[in-house]
Structure 1
Amino acid sequence: MARWLPLFVVALTFACASPASADEQVASGGAVTATFSFDVDDETGYSDLRLTISRGGAMLYDAPVSAENCEEPGCRPGNFEDDSVAVADLDGDSEPEVVLSLYWGGAHCCTIVQVFSFDGGSYRVAERNLGNPGFRLDDVDDDGTTEAVTNDDRFAYRYTAYAFSILPVQVLAWDGRRWHDDTSTHMDLVRSDLRRTWRLLKSARRHDYETRGAAAAWAANRYRLGKRRGTLRSLRRMARAGKLEGFPPRSPSTFVAELDRFLVRSGYTGRG
């Protein structure tokens, strides 16, 4: 069964009888059990984050949780409503990995995902900072491997303020040592996200909101589907019609040209 982790970070208020409490989250899969523990204080935040991993009943990993730029008391569990630790087979080799989600502690940034992989005697860790979006774990195509479904954080702030930035879907696959972008093999998700970003673009135009963030994400999905030429024609029509105004005050035609270069450079034209 898929373990879901959040696409967006939400606020949490702890209702505790005392200002400090200990928490423990446990996840199991096959012979592997992972336990994520931490203390939380209403006033000072989080402390004593720790992860243990046992395999076949033997304790193979027991260490404090640490991540680059994620420091106590701001560093905290990445999933505020459910468990932030999961056990899942990410690469289909029948050996489950342990996935830990952490949150940096800013207004909406950053989510960090750590993967702990069995190396024969212990566990090695690989870390990726996803930036503003969170993620969910899901076997997207029911092939026995679990992917991380997130959004492309490179679009945050790129063409507009964060409030108007729309981030296209991104699927990350685990190759045994690191995550890699596998979005182009999951076109059903891209088509679904294309509908989402088109609705957001239409809504922004209807309400006279900043449109460049939604236009960029909509174009990204269409480029993935091999529709670069038609998308450029549509964007240029919008630019001429004054529908791609924004801040910073680059001309709409300059925005379209810069967006096209970025999408090509970033691999969004992999299908033609």
Structure 2
Amino acid sequence: MTGFGARAAAVLDGPRPRRTSTLAPVRSAFRRRAVAVGATSLGVALLLTTAAAATSTTRTVTGGPVTVTVTVVSPDEAPPVKQGLHLTIDRDGRRLFTSDAHRGCTFAGASGCLLPEWTASDPPVVVTDLDGDDEPEVLVTQFTGGANCCLVLSVFGLRRDAAGTPTGYRQHVVWTGHAGSVVRPLDGGPVIQTRDFRFEYRWASAVESYPPLRLMRFAGAGRGLVDATGEHLDLVRRERAVLHRRLPFYRHGRDRDARGLLAGWAADGYRLGLRHSTLHTLRTWATKRQIFDTTVARNRAYVRQLDRTLIRWHFLPSR
């Protein structure tokens, strides 16, 4: 975990979720947290294939009537540069999904996307109920590779026909960047907590970026993941308070670029309905060239661009 996550995760996240039998983490980028998953079994089979000295690993994860089988074929080198990933989802013994129907790099066979390290306490494949309908969803995390990016989360939800008969699984993909994601039990049901990936590299480097909190709720296979951050403004206020305490460190320091920090702080302010007071602070900083070490005009241009972007990204509360 880099950027904001490494500096203030403990303050923002509050107490770690207590281990339960129904919720599980998806993945945190470089400091992963785990919650045990009920009815999860891991079967590991390692074998050497005759083609290109590749290694094939097959694992099985179960939850209720759902069984997920993942087979990874990678070159016999460390670390593997490319992987062949095949995933199947069976429900009550009937196969309803295969990775032949992939989206993007998530199940693109021999691609740059890797399956993160698999441990019994922190698997990249999780079966858990996200929407409280007693029907488990399948969560899969992958890593695109490279030093600076990125974790990708896929949520598979069961599809049914008009008669209610299961017909398959629909895949919903969200980029979680450096922060990764974790399932958290909050009021109103479990949510997937991550950071807004759009803020990474938008105004600053990854290390200097502070992507704001993003909470997503699974609303069924038809709607997929919907934004639920506005339902938990107490967490947004807590995060903004943490960022606010860091402002003097940037304001009174020389050669410090505050664009990444201010973008995350401003995003939280806009979501809380504090656009006018937030803009007043930003414009004051710009007039004094305290955002980054350049001209007043460029400082003011940053404020205008940030304001337009936050409005376009719908950070203002809906009326």
2:210 corresponds, among 166, 173, 176, to: 166
Write the distance in 2 (CA, Å) between the matches of 1:187 and 1:140: 15
Secondary structure of residue in 1 paired with 2:83: strand
Is there any run of 5+ residues in structure 1 with no aligned partner, and where?
11-15
**Counterpart of 2:25?**
4
Correspondence 1:1-272 to 2 at 5 A: 1=20, 2-9=23-30, 21-40=55-74, 41-43=76-78, 44-63=80-99, 66-69=102-105, 71=108, 72-78=110-116, 82-119=122-159, 120-130=165-175, 132-144=177-189, 146-176=190-220, 177=222, 178-205=224-251, 207-208=253-254, 209-245=256-292, 251-270=298-317
Write the distance in 2 (CA, Å) between the matches of 1:161 and 1:137: 24
Cα contact 2:26–2:126 (8 A) shared by 1: no
Cα contact 1:26–1:85 (8 A) shared by 2: no
Change (3 A) 1:45 1:37: same
CA RMSD of aligned residues (A): 3.1
Report the residue type matching 1:42 in the other structure: E
Is there any run of 5+ residues in structure 2 with no aligned partner, and where?
1-19, 32-45, 160-164
Cα contact 2:141–2:151 (8 A) shared by 1: yes
Report the residue type matching 1:31 in the other structure: P
Cα shift at 1:32: 1.8
Change (3 A) 1:62 1:263: closer
Identity %: 29
* Cα deviations by residue, 1:85-128 (Å, 9 ceiling, x for unpaired): 11122222221111111121132323222222222334323232
Of the structure 1 ranges 214-223 and 89-98, higher mean CA displacement relative to structure 2 is found in: 89-98
TM-score, normalising length from structure 1?
Answer: 0.82
Report the residue type matching 1:74 in the other structure: G
Secondary structure of residue in 2 paired with 1:76: coil
Report the residue type matching 1:252 in the other structure: N
Secondary structure of residue in 1 paired with 2:28: coil
Secondary structure of residue in 1 paired with 2:171: strand
Write the distance in 1 (CA, Å) between the matches of 2:296 and 2:202: 13
Change (3 A) 1:263 1:37: same
Cα contact 2:113–2:144 (8 A) shared by 1: yes
Change (3 A) 1:173 1:79: farther
* Cα deviations by residue, 1:176-208 (Å, 9 ceiling, x for unpaired): 132222211111221232133334444444554
Cα shift at 1:169: 0.8
Write the distance in 2 (CA, Å) between the matches of 1:111 and 1:30: 27
Change (3 A) 1:139 1:30: farther
Change (3 A) 1:124 1:31: closer
Cα contact 1:33–1:53 (8 A) shared by 2: yes
**Counterpart of 2:8?**
none
Report the residue type matching 2:180 in the other structure: F
Cα contact 1:76–1:103 (8 A) shared by 2: yes
How many residue pairs match? The answer is: 266
Of the structure 1 ranges 95-104 and 59-68, higher mean CA displacement relative to structure 2 is found in: 59-68
Cα contact 2:203–2:259 (8 A) shared by 1: yes
Write the distance in 2 (CA, Å) between the matches of 1:98 and 1:181: 19
Change (3 A) 1:4 1:246: farther
* Cα deviations by residue, 1:134-166 (Å, 9 ceiling, x for unpaired): 43232442434x322111122122222333222
